[in-house]
Amino acid sequence: MALQLFLIWCFLVGFLLGNGVPHFVFGAARKVFRTPFGQRSSPKTNVLWGLSNFVAATAIVAGLVTFNFYSDYALPVLLLGFWLTMLMFGTRIKRFLNE
């Protein structure tokens, strides 16, 4: 049970990192982009949203390291979460930009 919970946390870290990238990049480029709340938001909001994703991912990793949780599956699961998020973003980006 502990391993499954650990892998869920790793997947969540990958998801947060993947979700933070487009928001931070669009915000840093000073482009209006949607936040997860479904509304178009200012670049400043998107930079803050991207950074909050990065901070949350860092906090989870710090907690896992503090409690000596680690598995050989950690990196592959983290990357799976990251790449699935990037895939979702990549397939839906046109819809976001056309609004």
Which of these, 35, 39, 62, 30, lies nearest to 49 by C-alpha position? 35
Look at the block and give the residue holding tokens 């950074």: 51
Q: What is the mean pLDDT of residues 2-8?
A: 86
Structure confidence at residue 98 as a pLDDT band (50, 70, 90) = low
Max CA-CA distance within the chain? 45
pLDDT of 96 strictly over 80: no
Tell me the per-residue pLDDT of 25-76, one tens digit each, with 9 for 90 and over: 999 999 988 877 778 888 999 999 999 999 999 999 999 888 877 778 888 9
**C-alpha 32: how far from chain center:** 19
